[in-house]
């Protein structure tokens, strides 16, 4: 039996190679797999000095006493600087050579002396100084000559601080002659809707409107009731219309009616048991997250939540109460930005809020005496951050509240007179400004749009609207444009050509559409060999036919001629002036009855015919009745009969 080969596991020495001995190993018969363990005879350590020298870690191995190499940082920096100087001089010399070559190609004559690198650096410095001086001189001339550049520089500063107002340019849309009481722009900024106290609602499309600035549709959704508020839904496919009636309406994007809320029973005192409002509406808005839900408030002392799909009954109801427990009529209402709070301002000066996630039994936030009692708080709006609420009171004040500490207002601004109960307030898109409108009093030139800083409530800017009150004002975040509804029926759009987007900028560049007159000319086809039945007559002059039709009263549509005293043709005095004659005429009697003649003569006219041919009455009384004897006619009207003459004594 041949000897078994031993199984050997090699060992990697320190930085050496694996070497396996070829000497046979004796294996005992008891152990079948050989010996597992270290054997000094199987492995040999080879020298690794050459490997360590090539790899560069000779000092980290066994030779620990070798000195460590040291680096001098200052010398390295100096070397890098020297290398940079040499490279810069080389580049400068190459630039000089290229300039000389170009000059020799263009200029005829002796060439100038080459410039050194120092002169090139000096000239570059001079050029930079001259450019800086030119820029400074241009800036000074612009600031002194042109005011728009100064305004642009100020606008840049305002933009950095977040108080920039895009009111550089203005566009006017004419709604009518009455005050514009409602405005709304959809979230995409494509369409604008406006309402007025003249009962009309106009829809404007910025993309489809030309420079003529005309609305594409005008509707009157609520008959003879003024429009108080308008709102686009979050998707822009529905519009909520709040008017002076007790029923809110929802129309689609093109103005066609989709739903109308039901009216409640006026004879039920408990408002929770009625299906709808029983008094005129004052405000409403859409839910900011749910496109099917909207809110309305009315003078019946309730705020109701509705669903567009089912407007036959309200979805929820909130009753506003005054401090003594009586009914308090809301004047405006709104949702918070996240839709968790419902807030309304009442005519007793209070602000009441309910949590949308709970039962509407008690208020979650209540602010008594927020504004003067008996005045109409025309607007209440939440900030974009959801912490603050702004209210526009009928007591000429604008107040900012913190819902976390509602005991007292954070800021208050006065001297904001308004004549309308629809005047609103709004936050800027960056939440740093508040804007509202004012009405002008005697001695003033017009209303104003006032902008207030949110942190200090100082007046940052004012936009004058000449000879008109400011009723509505809003700042669209996507368009970055300010839309103002005035009391003279105009809508003012303020924007900046550089920082505003679309909106009014779309329609100004389009020319007015001129519709050409459509002229249809009849072409006559000449067919000389056509059959008689298909042959057309030659066109003749229509003058003779027109003269003939002129004589016909029906074809010419001749107006009725003036009637005389008796009347004719069934008008006014036909067949006499009495009702009986008119009835007889309609019964079929063709002969005209002359009521102006003597009735006795008219009866005696038929006496001879009745005596010659008696038919109705005379045969029945011919034997019993005596012969009638008629009194002779007396031509002298002054002589009295003998029976009436007085007796002579």
Average pLDDT estimate for 271-295: 94
**In this predicted model, what pLDDT tens digit does every residue of 401-436 receive, in sequence order?**
999 998 899 999 999 999 999 999 999 999 999 999
Residue predicted with more confidence, 614 or 317: 317
Summary mean pLDDT of the chain: 78
What integer pLDDT is reported at residue 87 of this predicted model?
85
Q: Span 70-79, mean pLDDT?
A: 76
Q: Return the residue matching tokens 């567009």.
A: 308
Give the tens place of pLDDT for each residue, 178-193.
999 999 999 999 999 9
- Is the pLDDT at 392 greater than 90? The verdict is yes
Model pLDDT, residue 116: 45
Query: Which residue in the block uniquely carries the two structure tokens 């400011």?
Result: 470
SS (HEC) of 70-111: CCCHHHHHHHHHHHHHHHHHHHHHHHHHHHHHHHHHHCCCCC
pLDDT of residue 67: 55
Residue 626 has pLDDT above 90, yes or no: no
In 410-521 the beta strands, taken as DSSP E runs, fall at 411-413, 425-427, 433-438, 446-453, 459-466, 470-476, 481-486, 490-495
For the domain with range 181-424, which CATH number is right: 3.20.20.450, 2.130.10.10, 3.40.50.620, 3.90.650.10?
2.130.10.10
What's the CA gap between 227 and 420, in Å, rounded? 13
Count helices and strands in the chain by DSSP H and E runs: 9, 28
pLDDT tens-digit profile of 580-595?
A: 666 766 665 555 555 5
Q: Strand, helix or coil at 600?
A: helix
The pLDDT score that the predictor gives to residue 615 is 79
Question: If you average pLDDT over each of 19-23, 63-67, 81-85, 113-117, which comes out highest?
Answer: 81-85
What pLDDT, in 10s, does the model give residues 143-202?
Answer: 444 444 545 555 555 665 667 899 899 999 999 999 999 999 999 999 999 999 999 999
Task: Compare 642 and 442 and report the one with higher pLDDT.
Answer: 442
What pLDDT is recorded for position 8?
52
pLDDT, tens digit, 9 for 90 and up, residues 100-141: 555 444 444 444 444 444 444 445 444 444 444 444 444 443
Q: What is the pLDDT of residues 323-350, one digit of tens each?
A: 998 999 999 999 999 999 999 999 999 9
> What pLDDT shows up at residue 352?
95
Give the pLDDT score at 551: 85
- Residue 260 CA to residue 187 CA, distance in Å, equals 23
Residue 72 pLDDT > 80 = no
Per-residue model confidence (pLDDT) at position 138: 43
- Write down the pLDDT at residue 554: 82
Domain ranges of the chain: 181-424
Model confidence at 33: pLDDT above 60? no
Q: Check residue 622 and give its pLDDT.
A: 75
Give residue 425's pLDDT.
Answer: 94
402 close to 381: Cβ distance less than 8 angstroms: no
**Mean pLDDT, rounded, for 44-51:** 66
Q: CA torsion angle for 272, 276, 278, 284 (degrees, to 10)?
A: 110
Q: How many CA atoms lie within 13 A of 511 on its CB side?
A: 3
For residue 389, what pLDDT is reported?
95
Q: Is the CB of residue 391 less than 8 Å from the CB of residue 423?
A: no
At 35 the pLDDT is 53
**How much is the pLDDT for 135?**
44
CB 277 within 8 Å of CB 262: no
Question: By three-state DSSP, how is residue 533 classified?
Answer: helix
pLDDT of residue 117: 42
Would you say residue 49 has pLDDT above 50? Answer: yes
pLDDT number for residue 443: 86
The single-letter DSSP state of residue 305 is E
Confidence of residue 503 (pLDDT cuts 50, 70, 90): confident
Q: Is the pLDDT reported for residue 85 higher than 50?
A: yes
First to last CA, the chain: 208
Average pLDDT value for residue range 242-250: 94
Query: Comparing 52-66, 70-84, 480-494, which segment has the lowest mean pLDDT?
Result: 52-66
């Amino acid at each position: 039996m041949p000897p078994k080969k031993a199984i050997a596991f090699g060992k990697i020495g320190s930085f050496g190679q694996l070497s396996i001995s070829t000497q046979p190993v004796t294996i005992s018969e008891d152990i079948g797999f050989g010996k597992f363990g270290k054997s000094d005879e199987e492995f040999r350590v080879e020298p690794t000095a050459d490997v360590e020298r090539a790899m560069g870690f000779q000092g980290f191995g066994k030779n620990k006493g070798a000195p460590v190499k040291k680096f001098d940082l200052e010398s390295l920096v100096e070397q890098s600087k020297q290398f940079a100087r040499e490279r810069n001089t080389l580049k400068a010399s190459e630039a000089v050579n290229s300039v000389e070559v170009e000059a020799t190609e263009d200029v005829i004559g002796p060439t100038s002396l080459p410039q050194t690198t120092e002169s090139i650096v000096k000239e570059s410095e001079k050029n930079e100084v001259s450019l800086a001086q030119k820029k400074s001189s241009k800036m000074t001339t612009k600031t002194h000559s042109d005011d728009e550049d100064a305004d642009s520089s100020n606008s840049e500063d305002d933009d950095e601080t977040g108080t920039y107002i895009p009111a550089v340019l203005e566009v006017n849309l004419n709604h009518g002659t009455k005050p514009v009481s409602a405005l709304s722009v959809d979230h995409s900024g494509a369409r604008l809707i406006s309402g007025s106290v003249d009962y009309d609602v106009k829809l404007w499309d910025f993309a489809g409107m030309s420079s003529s600035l005309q609305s594409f549709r005008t509707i009157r959704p609520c008959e003879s009731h003024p429009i108080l508020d308008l709102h686009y839904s979050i998707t822009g496919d529905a519009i909520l219309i709040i008017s002076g009636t007790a029923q809110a309406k929802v129309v689609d994007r093109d103005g066609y009616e989709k739903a109308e809320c039901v009216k409640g029973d006026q004879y039920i005192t408990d408002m929770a048991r009625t299906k709808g409002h029983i008094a005129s509406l004052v405000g409403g808005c859409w839910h900011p997250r749910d496109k099917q839900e909207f809110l309305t408030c009315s003078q019946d002392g309730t705020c109701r939540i509705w669903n567009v799909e089912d407007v036959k009954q309200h979805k929820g109801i909130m009753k506003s109460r005054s401090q003594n427990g009586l009914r308090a009529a809301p004047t405006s209402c709104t949702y918070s930005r996240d839709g968790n709070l419902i807030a309304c301002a009442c005519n007793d000066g209070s602000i009441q809020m309910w949590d949308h996630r709970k039962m509407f039994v008690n208020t979650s936030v209540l602010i008594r005496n927020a504004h003067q009692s008996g005045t109409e708080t025309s607007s209440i709006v939440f900030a974009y951050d959801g912490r603050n609420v702004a209210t526009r009171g009928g007591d000429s004040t604008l107040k900012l509240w913190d819902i976390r500490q509602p005991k007292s207002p954070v800021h208050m601004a006065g001297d904001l007179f308004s004549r309308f109960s629809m005047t609103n307030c709004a936050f800027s898109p960056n939440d740093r400004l508040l804007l509202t409108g004012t009405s002008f009093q005697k001695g003033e030139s017009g209303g104003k749009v006032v902008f207030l800083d949110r942190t200090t409530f100082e007046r940052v800017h004012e936009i004058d609207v000449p000879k008109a009150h400011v009723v509505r004002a809003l700042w669209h975040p996507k368009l970055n444009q300010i839309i103002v509804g005035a009391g003279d029926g105009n809508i003012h759009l303020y924007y900046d050509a550089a920082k505003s987007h679309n909106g009014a900028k779309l329609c100004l560049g389009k020319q007015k559409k001129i519709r050409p007159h459509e002229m249809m000319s009849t072409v006559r086809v000449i067919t000389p060999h056509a059959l008689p039945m298909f042959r057309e007559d030659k066109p003749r002059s229509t003058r003779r036919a027109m003269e003939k039709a002129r004589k016909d009263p029906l074809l010419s549509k001749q107006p009725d001629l003036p009637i005389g005293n008796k009347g004719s043709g069934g008008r006014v005095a036909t067949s006499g002036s009495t009702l009986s004659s008119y009835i007889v005429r309609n019964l079929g009697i063709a002969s005209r009855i002359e009521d102006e003649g003597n009735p006795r003569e008219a009866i005696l006219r038929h006496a001879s015919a009745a005596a010659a041919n008696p038919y109705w009455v005379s045969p029945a009384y011919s034997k019993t009745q005596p012969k009638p004897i008629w009194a002779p006619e007396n031509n002298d009207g002054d002589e009295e009969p003998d029976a009436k003459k007085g007796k002579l004594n």
